[in-house]
Structure 1
């Protein structure tokens, strides 16, 4: 009997991502979204001429990317606020649990991020003197219930935390939530107590509004403005505003003709090139006194189908009147728009539009754009990315040997080169993954003693953990193999090359299993190398 083949680590020599999204923006214009792909729940702050922005990452690690810009258009990731496994333990959480809706603020020379680790500790605050990091270990806020905390520092030095909690007396219908305010001590990082409900349900309780969340307070002309998302994160998403004379309220909503100050829900569903689900905005003032907002939105390729997740968009805020308005009612989010009145500051790697990104794995570590499921499980060596084919796969709600970057375009190509001699049932290749139960893979594997290139699809918990085979071809040649995933909206193609020509393994595969409409949750598709052994 032949001895079993024992796999060495899968060695990935390089990875290349190419995405297409039309011609470059003309001079004096910027392209929406400003952060393409899975960059939801943006929060922004300004310190002098510098802008800093953070996003949700849920159970991906490292978590909470920190971006810097000086013109609101070109953004460079300078760090990850959660970059040490000891800060948070995502355990075996579903990918759409973990860190929700961070808020970044700056006060008295220190940066603060308040956040919720859902099912992994609750609400917490971390701090840093340099936004690039290192950020502190979490200071937990055990008395703060709910999600989506936001910090506000008033002119008198007082600090306040606002967030989404249960209403007084409990929820009276599905999605019934409330906004609360409570004093916060920025020196001890503890709550001062005596929380107070300031919004019950939403701007019009008679209509039973749902999911009031993501609150922020801003002060202008002596008045306090509370802006928050309302309507849920799908097509009915919106942004609303209320005003008070004191920070603790009472808060009065803007008139019906004003609210919502941002939404796309009243536009025709069949409009061309739509942006949908707009909301969860953060506002920031410019040195010249103007205001702008960052917010999340989606770009469906059909109906409400999108694979790349919720993205970060940018718009000016019209505050010429009493209330801030991001978009007049019935106006579509522009895909191209005039740049903010700031000195242009290009030079950062592209985060939107048509671009190519390549990693040759020849540095001391992976770039900041790479993430893993729940915790890292990889190493670099000899100019390669090395993944050990352990028994934990990408469908096992664990910590697999998988590193991935965001799919940032509906039309994209991901390619890699791999050296791998698999043992029976072991596999290594590329995965396009929405979560543990919804993914597509193309991989070098061994089945029945024969090396193969296999394409698999998982579309729910009832499918095998490594997916259902939808294409397989024998792999005859030894040596390096290139693997390719081509995304075309809701259809993906898979191919390999071990010689001169590409060979199709599966074409026109239904990839709607990677859409939020099918997979659920709050994330977007991540693409990258993986390895697994059974």
Structure 2
């Protein structure tokens, strides 16, 4: 089998995977975005289909007050006796919880809350005993847990780390009579790595793999893929073993930057002398070949493109809100997405916004907008990573004229870099991106106007901080007051232009 990494491009970090027969299911973190925990299905670990979210109801997930990069941290997805279990942490909220489903494509249960500290929880069953293993204060702790009630037993320290630095992301497995603890260390940036320990019981004591780390690019400072770590292992139905992990595609002059977020990568695993060897001990590249597997994949990624005419059955699975939405501000009707702007702007926590991940460096996006604003009302396109780092292409009103403007928010600085007066009628707003910049345009009155450009570096994690990546979205605001004029988006298209 031959395939390209990442297998899930865009902001899909902290992946977790489980197999049920010949079917594979994968989940990732979602942080402050809603719905929470995107879910995917595959038959070969390479070609993934988005199938929905685990947390779709306000009763399941409250991230209303979450700061940027708080909310839903690394989940673990497992299957046992016909039930899917997903355990995760609402950081900045109420902590660990479990939700369950008979079918991951359907509705998931309300949360069962677990009384334990920390984040990055893992669920593992040994007979009838269920173990919750999690990161806390840079060590890994463990307790038994009743998954029906959330009740836990005495906590114990399971692992203090090989280097004592950001020990997190534990996953526990039983393989050939031994128990393996797979962890991340070194922080979720260029020092990230995967380490492994082994024991005769799920409670330890665990002995370190003498060949640790089993995966890391921390010594490969010029490699275009960085931050490899946070792995989950799975045995495929053909008997081969695989690791999914996160990584980033870094670019630019040293030390480089990344703005698409932490993405999901796939690597082959083999076992030698009772220890896993990831990718043959070689750095993980874009192109991966494996000859000893019966799995076959196309590498098709049609799901990463969007052509949305806003059918009346609602928004597609690619769309996300920033935190729990004010639902009365959003409607899909008569082939139109209608946004009614609230007082919040994109600089605040719960704007009227709906967006999708940027998944390729080279891409194009455009929308057709009907909007005749008055006063401080505005609506349009935004490209951003958080409240303090976003580029906006907006339609608004100034001194009686309808105009389009391009505005950049970078940290404490905000600047309007382009304006143009518009006539009556619909406006097409467009953005074209490559690795290094975004270029904006507005099309109205039969004319295309260039609306300036901005460097992608200023939407990167290295500038903005945090754990997410760029989203391209649509928004509306009254800039301090509820907007009276609805913004009507007639269409939206996101198209990869090549990688």
What TM-score does the superposition give when structure 2 sets the normalisation length?
0.91
1:512-523 residue pairs with structure 2 within 5 A?
512-523=457-468
> Post-superposition shift, 1:221?
1.2
Stretches of structure 2 lacking an aligned partner (at least 5 in a row): 480-499
Query: Is contact 1:225-1:242 (8 Å) kept?
Result: yes
Equivalent in the alignment of 1:4: none
Q: 1:203 aligns with which of 157, 162, 183?
A: 162
> Post-superposition shift, 1:346?
5.6
Query: Is contact 1:427-1:533 (8 Å) kept?
Result: yes
Query: Is contact 2:215-2:283 (8 Å) kept?
Result: no
Q: 2:283 aligns with which of 327, 332, 352?
A: 332
Equivalent in the alignment of 1:16: none
Distance, in Å, in 1 between the alignment partners of 2:183 and 2:275 is: 14
Distance, in Å, in 1 between the alignment partners of 2:59 and 2:344 is: 21
Equivalent in the alignment of 2:182: 227
Query: Is contact 2:177-2:200 (8 Å) kept?
Result: yes
Give CA-to-partner distance per residue, 1:145-191, whole Å, 9 cap, x none.
Answer: 0111001122x23211100013xxxxxxxxxx1111111223x2423
Distance, in Å, in 1 between the alignment partners of 2:246 and 2:105 is: 23
SS at 1:403 equivalent: strand
Q: 2:135 aligns with which of 164, 167, 181?
A: 164
Q: 1:317 aligns with which of 255, 258, 269?
A: 269
> Post-superposition shift, 1:328?
4.7
Distance, in Å, in 2 between the alignment partners of 1:65 and 1:281 is: 17
- Relative to 1, partners in 2 of residues 1:192 and 1:86: Cα closer, same or farther, differing over 3 Å? closer
- Relative to 1, partners in 2 of residues 1:449 and 1:216: Cα closer, same or farther, differing over 3 Å? same
> Post-superposition shift, 1:342?
4.2
Query: C-alpha root-mean-square deviation of aligned residues, in Å?
Result: 1.7
Give CA-to-partner distance per residue, 1:263-317, whole Å, 9 cap, x none.
Answer: 01111x334xx10000000000112322101000000121331111000000111
Give CA-to-partner distance per residue, 1:38-71, whole Å, 9 cap, x none.
Answer: 0000000111111010000001000101111111
Distance, in Å, in 1 between the alignment partners of 2:435 and 2:47 is: 26
Query: Is contact 2:3-2:299 (8 Å) kept?
Result: no
Q: Is residue 64 of structure 2 the alignment partner of residue 91 of structure 1? A: yes
Q: Is residue 392 of structure 2 the alignment partner of residue 441 of structure 1? A: yes
Query: Is contact 1:470-1:506 (8 Å) kept?
Result: yes
Q: Is residue 345 of structure 2 the alignment partner of residue 373 of structure 1? A: no
Query: Is contact 2:86-2:99 (8 Å) kept?
Result: yes
Equivalent in the alignment of 1:415: 366
> Post-superposition shift, 1:443?
1.0
Equivalent in the alignment of 2:456: 511
Equivalent in the alignment of 1:191: 151
> Post-superposition shift, 1:348?
7.5
> Post-superposition shift, 1:390?
1.6
Distance, in Å, in 2 between the alignment partners of 1:266 and 1:41 is: 21
Query: Is contact 1:68-1:78 (8 Å) kept?
Result: yes
Equivalent in the alignment of 1:61: 34
> Post-superposition shift, 1:253?
0.5
Q: 1:532 aligns with which of 466, 471, 477?
A: 477
Equivalent in the alignment of 2:444: 498
Give CA-to-partner distance per residue, 1:231-250, whole Å, 9 cap, x none.
Answer: 00010000000000111000
Give CA-to-partner distance per residue, 1:377-426, whole Å, 9 cap, x none.
Answer: 421011011111221111112x2111100001112211111000011221
Distance, in Å, in 2 between the alignment partners of 1:191 and 1:211 is: 27
Query: Is contact 1:227-1:240 (8 Å) kept?
Result: yes
SS at 1:309 equivalent: coil
Tell me whether 83-92 or 212-221 shows the greater mean CA deviation. 83-92
Distance, in Å, in 2 between the alignment partners of 1:190 and 1:492 is: 47
> Post-superposition shift, 1:441?
0.6
Q: Is residue 352 of structure 2 the alignment partner of residue 401 of structure 1? A: yes
Stretches of structure 1 lacking an aligned partner (at least 5 in a row): 1-27, 167-176
Q: Is residue 375 of structure 2 the alignment partner of residue 424 of structure 1? A: yes
Distance, in Å, in 2 between the alignment partners of 1:367 and 1:31 is: 25
Equivalent in the alignment of 1:18: none
Query: Is contact 2:312-2:334 (8 Å) kept?
Result: no
Query: Is contact 2:25-2:41 (8 Å) kept?
Result: yes
Query: Is contact 2:3-2:297 (8 Å) kept?
Result: no
Q: 1:468 aligns with which of 409, 415, 426?
A: 415
Runs of 4+ in 1 over 4 A off after TM superposition: 345-349
